Amino acid sequence: MEKQEIRQFITHQLNTLDRRQQREQQIYDRLFTVSAWENARSIAVTLSFRNECSTDPIIEKAWELGKQVVIPKVVQREMKFFEYLPNSRLVETTMGIREPDDTAVERSLNTIDLCLVPGRAFMRNGFRVGWGGGFYDRALIDYQESTLAVAFECQLVPAFAVESFDRPVDQIVTESEVILCR
Ligand SMILES: Nc1nc2c(c(=O)[nH]1)N(C=O)[C@@H](CNc1ccc(C(=O)N[C@@H](CCC(=O)O)C(=O)O)cc1)CN2
Ligand SMILES: Nc1ncnc2c1ncn2[C@@H]1O[C@H](COP(=O)(O)OP(=O)(O)OP(=O)(O)O)[C@@H](O)[C@H]1O
């Protein structure tokens, strides 16, 4: 399948997913036992939108545990990361993604212990298909710390053509397993 067909297929899968809340809770419970999560003092995470697995409980838990949280903002085709606190103000993009406002403090991704990478579809070897902006492929080029994706089982796909610029994640946490990709 082409990446574009995979995106359409996954959108349908996610829109018709049953027992979503139960599945999300299983994903969180499993994520919170992973050592890369436990050891991270700072995490980068996206604010979920549309039918992505909700990241709100992940962020709440991170704050509860005293972890620093940063979230991305797309600035002129480039993604930058900013500190995210319970009282941070957000603005919504035309696409519907919530992003930090102008007052947020920028943090280099390279100073963050764990990067939670969003994606539409994943192979078990960690390669992913996103929304098609290539933002994470570029952001992860010289990122040395742990990368992890949370995804529903139905987002795992058997095979797609990997391109030279694609960057795999280290681990994928689903509602039924932790996949060690590398
Ligand atoms: N929750 C979440 N936040 C995220 C991502 C993500 O996958 N999930 N991203 C992961 O990389 C980045 C944003 N990714 C984007 C990828 C593509 C387009 C884009 O192509 N927009 C089109 C409109 C497409 C549409 O409306 O459907 C455009 O601007 O013309 C925008 C943002 C950063 N934040
Ligand atoms: N390292 C890079 N340098 C320049 N362009 C890149 C790089 N990585 C990706 N791109 C560009 O980004 C485009 C989209 O890539 P791809 O379809 O893999 O995005 P994606 O992984 O689905 O999106 P995202 O990473 O934002 O979730 C590609 O067509 C490619 O030209």
List ligand 2's pocket residues with C-beta within 6 A.
3, 129-138, 141, 165-166
The pTM is what?
A: 0.96
Ligand 1 center to residue 77 CA distance, Å?
10
What is the pLDDT averaged over residues 27-41?
A: 98
Residue 160 CA to ligand 2 center (angstroms) comes to: 15
- Separation in Å, CA 148 to CA 105, 119, 128: 24, 11, 11
This model of the complex carries an ipTM of 0.91
- Nearest residue (by CA) to ligand 1, atom 31, is 133
Break the chain into its structural domains and give their ranges. 3-180
Any ligand 1 atom below 6 A from CB of 161: no
pLDDT-based confidence at 1, cuts 50/70/90? confident
Q: Which residue, judged by its Cα, is nearest atom 18 of ligand 2?
A: 134
State the pLDDT at residue 27.
98
| Burial (CB count <10 Å: 0-12, 13-18, 19+), residue 134 | middle
Question: What pLDDT digit, counting tens, does each position of 57-109 carry?
Answer: 999 999 999 999 999 999 999 999 999 999 999 999 999 999 999 999 999 99
List the CATH code of the domain at 3-180: 3.40.50.10420
